[in-house]
Amino acid sequence: MGNKIMKDQVEDFIHYLHVERGLANNTIQSYRRDLNQYLAYIRDAEKVTHWQDVSRTMITKYLYNLKDEGKAPATLARQTASIRSFHQFLLRENIVNHDPSHHVGVPKAERRLPKVLSLSEVEALLSSPEANTPIGLRDQAMLETLYATGIRVSELMGLNIEDIHLTMGFLRCMGKGSKERIIPLGRMALKAMKQYIEEGRPKLLRNKQQEALFLNHHGNRLTRQGFWKILKQLSLNAGITKSITPHTLRHSFATHLLENGADLRSVQEMLGHADISTTQIYTHVTKQRLKEIYTNYHPRA
């Protein structure tokens, strides 16, 4: 008897959407499908016979079941909205005395592991610029700096000539929230930077007054979009088949540091992450890579 009442109350809500809210027929049918599916779960899996007995935990479990079935984020968001609207309707109609859907959120999509380059791919990419031209010297310095420091491309493009301290071997970078970081430059990055500043940049500058460190062929500050085009061409030249983004060298920097024993807090500081939970994604990358290495090379894997 309870199951029929629950079903009738779903239909009462659908009627309310049609008559009082005046929603389009397609929208109403979406609500009906969502809620009938939800009702079937509550009735069959949770053995509930009255909407009053539905708990927040039940709703959360239902939504995570949908996520585990591979439902798209948009579908999960729509299902969540349908369930919330329905429970608010039940509360307004005094059918229940609480709303278990209150504060129920859409299940978060799993964070995708960032793509990283292998050491041999990094070597190929860093060797791809033509080192005997001003543009090549600039590109070499940019790539070496990104891989040596892990700074964001936007931070790289924002560097001014005064931010580079060749004698001390570090750069000063303004990150998110105007937070300043002092980051050491490795031996190879320092060498590439010195050569660019002394031999490449003056030729690109064309006697202009310009504070930007990295310049385009007009002598103006290179943009993020300009760097993206350069990176795509250099990765093609290097024979890299992976789809890489301007963040790939940053991801590779963090992953290779952790793989070689760096501690998470140090990597967090170098990356400029406000919260260490953001940096922890790289521990998943290193674990995944270790698993691949084990599977490929252990004789009994």
What number of residues does the chain have?
A: 301
Let me know if 21 is a catalytic residue. no
11, 12, 155 from 100: Cα distances, Å: 20, 19, 45
Share of the chain above pLDDT 90, in %: 52
Let me know if 273 is a catalytic residue. yes
160 by Cβ neighbours in 10 Å (0-12 / 13-18 / 19+) ranks as middle
DSSP state of 220: S
The average pLDDT across 52-76 equals 89
For the chain, residues classed under CATH 1.10.150.130 are 2-92
pLDDT at 299: 62
Would residue 222 be called left, alpha or beta, if left means φ above 0 and alpha means ψ between -120 and 50 degrees?
beta
At the top level of CATH, the class of 119-297 is mainly alpha
Instruction: Copy the structure tokens of residue 5.
Output: 């009442």
206-227 confidence digits (pLDDT tens)? 878 899 999 999 999 999 999 9
The residue from 62, 147, 196, 282 that is catalytic is: 282
Q: How far is CA 116 from the centre of its chain?
A: 13
Let me know if 152 is a catalytic residue. yes
At the top level of CATH, the class of 2-92 is mainly alpha
294 by Cβ neighbours in 10 Å (0-12 / 13-18 / 19+) ranks as exposed
Assign 264 a pLDDT band (cuts: 50, 70, 90).
confident
3-class DSSP state of 300: coil
pLDDT at 1: 47
The residue from 111, 176, 265, 287 that is catalytic is: 176
pLDDT at 41: 94
For the chain, what is the mean pLDDT? 86
The residue from 78, 152, 201, 251 that is catalytic is: 152
Top mean-pLDDT range of 30-39, 234-243, 253-262: 30-39
For tokens 């049609």, name the residue.
18
Distance CA 153, CA 173 (A): 11
Its pTM stands at 0.57
Produce one character per residue of 24-59: b if its CB has 16 or more CB atoms within 10 Å, e if not.
eeeebebbbebbeebbebbeeebebeebeebeeebb
Q: Does residue 289 register a pLDDT over 60?
A: no
Let me know if 282 is a catalytic residue. yes
Let me know if 250 is a catalytic residue. yes
For the chain, residues classed under CATH 1.10.443.10 are 119-297
The residue from 78, 87, 201, 250 that is catalytic is: 250
Let me know if 297 is a catalytic residue. no
